[in-house]
Amino acid sequence: MSQRKKNIRLILVWLVLVLVTALVLLTRGDRNRINVARDLFAVEDVSKVDQVVITTSDQENDLRFQNGIWTINNKYKADPQRVTVLFAILKQNKIRRKAASRKIASLDSAKQGGGISVKFLSTSRVVKGFDIIDLDGLTYFNDGEESYVVEIPGYRVDLGGIFKLDEGGWRNPLVFDLNWANLQEVNMIFPERPKDQFDVVYQRRYYTIKQLETADSTKLTDFLDNVSLLYVNDYLDKDELANYKIDIRSPKASIIVSDVGGNKHSLTIYNEQEGSNTVLGEIDSTDYALFDFNMIRKALRPKQYFSEQ
């Protein structure tokens, strides 16, 4: 057989293989093929969303934009950074692929056992709603019929994590959420070390320490920054508080902050928790929370620390 005939036969065989492959694909179909827009779960203009309702098997959290701020469950100010992340996910998420057929049963089971439903609303009208399922390290969004693996292109992030936050996780973590331009006084109280106590006051356009003739201005400025940036690691509800040791009769320190309007906010520090780098504290005599030990330490400077050398 000549080389020319061999080449022709090879070409014919190749053409048959191509036709057979195409026929198989047409008859089988690609079960994981995306047949919807990749931005199915995205909202381009998130500025119109003024309410987000997140429902799990054991809780419902209601985020609302009212009086110029986001609140959680009509009780607390919401964490503005986490709200920003939530809306970044809403705007930028894309479908990567449809859920594999072999995963459908597992996804249905996970949805029944611990799935999350979220609704984004504008003036009480739902503009986007879907279910969220985490399975095998992937986040799936479900539109009520199909499940899809979603992502933010270019980033490897857990998109489902933020939807699992409890009420405390959505709260603004700043302890002293006030306008520091109106700060009038900071009182540092050490019940077991009264000689270390001091008061920072605003006089003649400067902050000074009442108990010192002169104070190191750099250290004082750093101290006020540390106090203003104190934030909660985790708010504790009544059930969680029962797991921590606390002696309310023996606080280690208290910070009382006052503004020019006479408003006062307080943080009482109790004991460091064994086996962790956290400290238990009480905010405004109403909320218990855990704090990072090193952050608290920087805000609990004794009076002598500010003395100029």
pLDDT for 185-216, tens place per residue?
A: 999 999 999 999 999 999 888 899 999 999 99
3-state secondary structure of 103: helix
Mean pLDDT value of segment 150-160: 88
Arithmetic mean of pLDDT, 18-39: 58
Asked if pLDDT for residue 10 goes beyond 80, the answer is no
Fold of 46-170: Immunoglobulin-like (2.60.40)
Q: Is the pLDDT of residue 21 over 50?
A: no
pLDDT computed for residue 309 by the predictor: 62
Averaged pLDDT, 109-123:
90
What pLDDT score does 26 carry? 47
Residue 178, pLDDT score? 83
- Mean pLDDT of the 173-188 span: 91
Tell me how far apart the alpha carbons of residues 110 and 97 are, in angstroms, rounded to a whole number: 19
Locate 72 and state its tokens: 């959680």
DSSP state of 193: -
Q: Tokens for 209?
A: 């320490």
Express each pLDDT in 33-68 by its tens digit.
Answer: 667 899 999 999 999 999 999 999 889 999 999 999
Least confident range from 18-22, 129-133, 213-217: namely 18-22
pLDDT at 243: 85
The values of phi and psi at residue 223, to 5°, are -60, -45
Which residue, among 131, 53, 168, has the nearest Cα to 139 in the 3D structure?
A: 131
- pLDDT, position 180: 81
Is residue 7 very low, low, confident or very high in pLDDT (cuts 50, 70, 90)?
very low
Q: Look at residue 27 and tell me whether its pLDDT is greater than 90.
A: no
- Please tell me the least confidently modeled range out of 103-112, 226-235, 294-303: 103-112
Report CA Rg, the chain.
29
pLDDT exceeding 70 applies to what percent of the chain?
89
pLDDT score, position 299? 95
Going 239 to 245 to 247 to 248, the CA torsion angle's sign is negative
Amino acid sitting at position 86: L
Asked if the model's pLDDT at residue 111 lies above 90, the reply is no
Is this model's pTM higher than 0.85 or not?
no
| Separation between Cα atoms, residue 125 and residue 49, nearest integer Å | 9
Least confident of 4-13, 42-51, 75-84, 104-113: 4-13
The confidence score (pLDDT) of residue 65 equals 97
Q: Are 34 and 97 in contact (CB under 8 A)?
A: yes
**CA–CA gap between residue 211 and residue 298 (Å, rounded):** 20
pLDDT at 266 over 80: yes
Nearest by Cα to 234 from 295, 281, 187, 298: 281
Question: Which tokens is 188 given?
Answer: 């540092």
pLDDT in the model for residue 250 = 85
Q: Say whether pLDDT at 13 is over 90.
A: no
Average pLDDT of the chain, as a whole number: 88
Q: How confident is the model at residue 300 (pLDDT cuts 50, 70, 90)?
A: very high
